[in-house]
Amino acid sequence: MDLNLIKKLIKVVENSEINEFEYEEGELKVKISKNFNGLPVQSYLQNYSQPMMQQAPAVTAESPKPAVGETEKKSNLHEVRSPIVGTFYRAPAPDADPYVQVGDSISQGGVLCIVEAMKLMNEIESDVSGKIVKILVENATPVEYNQPLFLVEKN
Amino acid sequence: MFNIEKFDIKLSTETIGRNFIYCEDIDSTNSFLLKSKEYNKHGLVFFAEYQSAGRGRRNRTWLSTKEQNLTFSIMLKDGISADNINILILGASVAVAQALENLYQFKVNLKWPNDVLINNKKISGILVESTSKGSKIEKAVIGIAVNVNQAGFTGQFNIQPTSVRKEFRKEVSREKLLSEILNCFEEIFNLSINNKEKVLNDWRMRCNLIGEKIKIEDGDKTIHGIFEDIDENGYLQLKTNNEITSIHFGEISLPQ
């Protein structure tokens, strides 16, 4: 089957009120359905290490509904992103202890890390109070502008 | 002893240095301003005669003899963003270079990103630190140290130090030099918002390593290549095997 035709069909479904579309011709079977449950299968955390799931209509079979509680958990999680391009450091100096560990409580204004670029030491403070759920970047590795660095579960 | 009146009379800025704090002895002028909730006006300059814990990059120490040099920090709050912070990192060294050229007619070279050199010796070091709440830069502190009237240096250095006195062969007025640096810096700050390209060009014309083979070291990593240029963000463009890489970290030096 022509791939372009599938693409066209997806476009048509996307722009329409149709939620589900099935087409059968001999051996070929196409099913397009819109997913209205927000994020599918994947947990929120895993999305960072993988490309974003396509949320528009997709040519898939059934897509399981998110686990109970998942959506609620998501809204309570806050991402702290990098304000600049640079190198991510978890500690103020090479031989010092990291500012925070997973599981630590952090208050608003507490220092999370340093991002260094061109000798600029940029100290990143948390903009929320909560608990560090995940550190998304390895120490001393490069980060991009706006890249998520920490997941904080808000109080 | 630093004479504030002599400094003030030469200061021609609108905001930079108009709030001026003089201090005999402090751990580090940058640390103080970063922590301070009270001294947080845009343009404030915090000057110390002596720093007991002067810092460089990654907590290297900066040693400076009491009452002979300039060690100060400039607080920036208005007009600071991810857009112009890099320009200011380079621009701070341009301001110091311009002041040294204006007052003593030195031939100044800049080493990426912001070391100020005379005859391949370091006369000034700059440490920019900022704090961000979440992804917004809230304030930036530009820490500048200039070796002015220090007669000699002992110890181990990654780049050999020098002072204005050593190069100019006489003692000079620290007050005049400080006001000149701040006058130049205010102009650079305004340009960082209105005309970044001018700041980048002012930096480029003082860098003698562009086009040269260089070595970049960061921790245990070393990269060799040709220093092609700096880009619009101030990142170093390193050419290796006909590929250009944007560098935003590390110490650069000429390969031995």
Let me know: does B188 contact B20? Beta carbons within 8 Å. Answer: no
**What span, in angstroms and rounded, lies between the C-alpha atoms of A133 and A78?**
10
Cβ-defined contact of A119 to B86 (cutoff 8 Å): no
Distances (CA, A) of A119 to A68, B15, B63, B114: 46, 25, 18, 8
Does residue A148 share a domain with residue A114? yes
Task: Tell me the Cα Rg of chain B.
Answer: 18
CATH number, residue A124? 2.40.50.100
Residues of A with CB under 8 A from a CB of B: 80-87, 92-94, 96, 109, 116-128, 140, 142, 145-146
At position B45, the amino acid (one-letter code) is V
Does residue B235 share a domain with residue B172? no
Say yes or no to pLDDT of B215 above 90.
yes
Mutant choice from B73, B131, B231, B238 vs A, greatest count of A C-beta within 10 A: B131
Q: Please choose, from the candidates B156, B166, B163, B175, the residue with its C-alpha nearest in 3D space to the C-alpha of residue B125.
A: B163
Structure tokens at B163: 């002072």
Task: Compute the average pLDDT of residues A141-155.
Answer: 93
- Which residues share a beta bridge with B145? B71, B125
pLDDT classification of A31: cutoffs 50, 70, 90: confident
Residue B159, C-beta contacts closer than 8 angstroms, at least 6 positions apart? B111, B115, B117, B120, B121, B122
Cβ-defined contact of B129 to A116 (cutoff 8 Å): no
Burial of B242 per CB tally in 10 Å (0-12, 13-18, 19+): exposed
Domain that holds residue B237: 213-253
B219 touches chain A (CB under 8 A): yes
Does residue A107 share a domain with residue A32? no
Omega of the bond leading into B113 within 30 degrees of 0 (cis): yes
CATH number, residue B146? 3.30.930.10
Does residue B117 share a domain with residue B36? yes
B135 touches chain A (CB under 8 A): yes
Say yes or no to pLDDT of B5 above 90.
yes
- Look at A45 and B94; give whichever has higher pLDDT: B94
Based on the structure, what is the number of domains in chain A? 2
- Mean pLDDT over all residues of chain A? 75
Let me know: does B169 contact B177? Beta carbons within 8 Å. Answer: no
Based on the structure, what is the number of domains in chain B? 2
> Which string of DSSP letters, residue by residue, matches A15-69?
TSS-SEEEEEETTEEEEEE---SSS-SS-TGGGGTSPPPP-S-BS-S--PPPPTT
**Neighboring chain B residues of A116 at a CB cutoff of 8 Å:** 57-58, 249
Element (H, E) at B88: helix B85-104
- Look at A14 and A109; give whichever has higher pLDDT: A109
Give the up-direction half-sphere exposure of residue B188: CA atoms within 13 A in the CB hemisphere: 29
Does residue A112 share a domain with residue A49? no
- Dihedral pair phi/psi, residue A45, rounded to 5°: -65, -40
User: What DSSP state is assigned to residue B39?
Assistant: S
Does residue B246 share a domain with residue B184? no
| A-contacting residues in B 15-54 (Cβ below 8 Å) | 34
A/B interface, count of CB pairs below 8 Å: 94
Distances (CA, A) of B105 to A118, B98, B167: 28, 9, 11
Residue B213, C-beta contacts closer than 8 angstroms, at least 6 positions apart? B224, B225, B226, B227, B254, B255
Domain that holds residue A31: 3-55
Does residue A39 share a domain with residue A7? yes
- Mean pLDDT over all residues of chain B? 92
pLDDT classification of B202: cutoffs 50, 70, 90: very high
pLDDT classification of B136: cutoffs 50, 70, 90: confident
**Neighboring chain A residues of B219 at a CB cutoff of 8 Å:** 94, 140
CATH number, residue B227? 2.30.30.100
Mutant choice from B89, B249, B251 vs A, greatest count of A C-beta within 10 A: B249
| A-contacting residues in B 62-91 (Cβ below 8 Å) | 82, 85-86, 89-90
Q: Which of A93, A118, A128 sits opposite B89 (nearest CB)?
A: A118
Does residue B92 share a domain with residue B195? yes
**What span, in angstroms and rounded, lies between the C-alpha atoms of A148 and B136?**
13
What's the pLDDT at A35? 58
Three-state secondary-structure class, residue A4 = helix
Say yes or no to pLDDT of A114 above 70.
yes
Pairing label, strands B121-133, A120-125: parallel
> Could you give the angle at the alpha carbon of A31 between the alpha carbons of A29 and A37, nearest 5°?
160
Q: Could you tell me which chain B residue has the CA closest to the CA of A107?
A: B133
**What span, in angstroms and rounded, lies between the C-alpha atoms of B18 and B185?**
13
Let me know: does B140 contact B45? Beta carbons within 8 Å. Answer: no
> Tens digit of pLDDT for each residue in A35-69?
544 333 333 333 333 333 334 444 444 444 444 44
> Tens digit of pLDDT for each residue in B167-195?
999 999 999 999 999 999 999 999 999 99
Task: Compute the average pLDDT of residues B54-75.
Answer: 82
What's the pLDDT at A102? 96
**Neighboring chain A residues of B249 at a CB cutoff of 8 Å:** 86-87, 116-118, 142
Does residue B98 share a domain with residue B14? yes
Does residue B158 share a domain with residue B113? yes
Give the up-direction half-sphere exposure of residue B142: CA atoms within 13 A in the CB hemisphere: 33
Does residue A41 share a domain with residue A76? no
CA A113 to chain centre: 20
Does residue B10 share a domain with residue B126? yes
Does residue B131 share a domain with residue B26? yes
What's the pLDDT at B256? 61
Say yes or no to pLDDT of B150 above 50.
yes
Say yes or no to pLDDT of A70 above 50.
no
**Neighboring chain B residues of A84 at a CB cutoff of 8 Å:** 82, 85-86, 137
- Look at B244 and A27; give whichever has higher pLDDT: B244
Residue A118 inside a domain? The answer is yes
Structure tokens at A126: 């948390």
Which ipTM value was assigned to this complex?
0.81
At position A144, the amino acid (one-letter code) is E
Q: Record the pTM.
A: 0.79
What's the pLDDT at B20? 97
Does residue B247 share a domain with residue B198? no
Task: Compute the average pLDDT of residues B105-133.
Answer: 95
**Neighboring chain B residues of A146 at a CB cutoff of 8 Å:** 135
Question: Could you tell me the maximum CA-CA distance found in chain B, to the nearest angstrom?
Answer: 56
**What span, in angstroms and rounded, lies between the C-alpha atoms of A105 and B144?**
35
Does residue B101 share a domain with residue B124? yes
**What span, in angstroms and rounded, lies between the C-alpha atoms of B249 and A1?**
50
- Look at A33 and B19; give whichever has higher pLDDT: B19
B60 touches chain A (CB under 8 A): no
Task: Compute the average pLDDT of residues B131-141.
Answer: 90
Residue A61 inside a domain? The answer is no
Cβ-defined contact of A118 to B113 (cutoff 8 Å): yes
What's the pLDDT at B58? 61
Does residue A77 share a domain with residue A50? no
What's the pLDDT at A37? 46
Q: Which of A87, A93, A119 sits opposite B113 (nearest CB)?
A: A119
Distances (CA, A) of A143 to A67, A69, A83, B222: 31, 31, 10, 19
What's the pLDDT at A73? 53
**What span, in angstroms and rounded, lies between the C-alpha atoms of B240 and B228?**
10
